[in-house]
Amino acid sequence: LSPGAKMGCFTFIKVMMILFNLAIFLSGGALLGVGIWVKVDGESFLKLFGTLSSSVLQVVNVAYLLIVIGAILLVIGFLGCYGAQKESKCLLMMFFSVVLIIFIAEVAAAVVALVFTGLAETLLTGLVTPLLKEKYGMNDTFTQIWDLTMTEVHCCGLNNYTDFDNSYFYEKYHGYPKQCCGTENPCNSTYLPFWGMLCPGSWGIATSCHPHLCGCLVQGCFKQILEEIRTNAGVAGGVAAGIAALEIAAMAVSMYLYCHLDEK
């Protein structure tokens, strides 16, 4: 290519790099803002978007997830956009390094998710189960998120109803959340005089129930969500491949600009 053509190619790639990372920066700012909103005023967020939110995201703390993702996108967008605009080798190399680290972490997470599903379940159990015992029934926002999750996914707890053993909810209502008894296929109406509770049936659904006595054992949310992921593995794989392709392209473009700055 002639020097003019090389310069034109360099300028085009530089502009595209700036625009692409500007979009990432703005998206990160938006996610960060929403994450802070959810953290500060989670109840109004749930009332507005609760029924539309993803069942997978409801299992984790949505506010912190959005804040972390938003902050990462802000950093990436700033480094890529400002580094390309200022033609700074230092910023471009930092951009390349951050994206490379994220890419490696994603590949490692995918390998762990595929090979060590049991380990992932163990880690989630260690993190989520204590929160269920302490906050479910006490914290309104946390309770609403899990009620919505268990209702939409038709699951109970992270592993099963035993996640609520010795919990705040169990101590208060002397039973398990009504979702643990299966609202889609209710048990026969059975009055439990010892606890003074109703199993789901023609008499209605009580605040709490005893699934091991009603005989309506519901799977945990982790297994249900894992089944949904496996069912939609093609879509999830396509999205993951698309993200990986974008990250590889971003690293290639940043390295191209880095290597051709001295040729200008």
Write the CATH number for 171: 1.10.1450.10
Task: Answer whether residue 48 is part of any domain.
Answer: yes
Ordered per-residue pLDDT tens for the chain, 264 residues: 556 566 778 888 888 888 888 988 998 888 888 888 777 766 665 555 544 444 444 444 667 778 888 899 899 999 999 888 888 889 999 999 999 999 998 888 777 767 766 666 677 777 788 888 888 888 887 888 888 888 877 888 888 888 888 888 888 888 788 888 764 433 333 434 334 444 444 333 445 666 555 555 678 888 777 777 677 667 767 777 888 888 898 899 988 888 887 765
Q: Are both 228 and 119 inside the same structural domain? A: yes
pTM confidence score: 0.57
Question: What is the length of the chain?
Answer: 264
CA 110 – CA 22 distance, rounded (Å):
28
77 vs 222: CA distance, rounded Å? 33
Q: Which amino acid is at 209?
A: C
- Is the domain of 60 the same as that of 153? no
Angle, CA 73 vertex, CA 59 and CA 31 arms, to 5°: 50
Phi/psi at 198 (nearest 5 deg)? -110, 140
Same domain membership, residue 176 and residue 58? no
Residues 141, 177: one domain?
yes
Q: Does residue 195 sit within a domain?
A: no
The verdict on 134 and 170 lying in the same domain is: yes
Q: Which domain holds residue 16?
A: 1-86
Total domains present in the chain: 2
